[in-house]
Amino acid sequence: MGLEVIGAGFGRTGTMSLKVALETLGFGPCYHMSEVFANPQHVELWEVAARGEPVNWEELFHTCPN
């Protein structure tokens, strides 16, 4: 995985529009928290991250369908 940019924002602040724009410009696929609805197994990894524990980002993004 070549993670290049993290664009973090609160909900309802244009994060989905940013995802779509970046993918349209060829900077994709982009992960959006809406992916959690399609991949409930991601919840546990985000909970680990929220606790400040190390996260296997490769595992998280490898399971993403994009």
Q: What is the pLDDT of residues 25-41, one digit of tens each?
A: 998 888 999 999 999 98
Task: Give domain status of residue 4, yes or no.
Answer: no
| Helix locations, the chain, DSSP H | 15-24, 35-38, 42-50, 57-62
Residue 46 belongs to a domain: yes
Supply the pTM of this predicted model: 0.76
44 located within any domain: yes
Q: Is residue 24 part of a domain?
A: yes
Contact 64, 29 (CB under 8 A): yes
With respect to residue 2, please indicate whether it lies within any of the assigned structural domains.
no
Mean pLDDT for the stretch of residues 36-55: 93
CA 2/CA 4 separation, integer angstroms: 6
Which residue range forms the structural domain that includes residue 38? 15-62
More confidently predicted of 3 and 46: 46
Q: Total domain count for the chain?
A: 1
3 pLDDT band, cuts 50/70/90, is confident
Q: Which amino acid is at 6?
A: I
6 found inside a domain: no
